[in-house]
Amino acid sequence: MLASWTFEDLNTSVRETCLGHFDATAKTFHILYRFVKECRQIIQATINRSKTLLVYVEKMIFVENKETRLHYQAYIVLTRVPDEGTTAIPLLESPTHRQVMGQFLWQNKKECEIKNIQEKFILLIHETCKYTIDNISEQYPKLA
């Protein structure tokens, strides 16, 4: 299970958002990504089978002409080295007012080992389109 939460340092009152993975079988909880000294509204996230890549969707509030509008942006980030300068890469050219969802496509574990299958995920944009992203390391070389 993936979860996001806001952490507050009681000594400094600095707040930040964290994303983590709870493994119910092993009863362990691991932080996958931290927004150091930033609070973000994360509404959806997915990780790959090896738990090395994270795709998450952030909801943002923009005020345009005195009208409040919600916008969404999807990001992909490495989870291997938390808190060591890992930078999330936006998956859309700009935030959209349409809701966005990302989902890694997990193949059968034995099949992946035999065929050396690349990671894939799907990015859905409400009422508009969907993208299936293959060969992640080629499209996002900073993640390789």
Question: Which helix (H) or strand (E) covers residue 31, if one does?
Answer: strand 28-35
Summarize pLDDT for 53-76 with one digit per residue, the tens.
899 999 999 888 888 999 999 999
Q: Which of 21, 19, 22, 24 is closest to 7 using CA atoms?
A: 19
Q: How do residues 103-142 score in pLDDT, each as one tens digit? A: 998 766 665 554 555 778 889 999 887 767 666 655 565 5
**Predicted TM-score (pTM) of this structure:** 0.81
29 - beta bridge partners? Answer: 22
CA 138 to chain CA centroid, nearest Å: 18
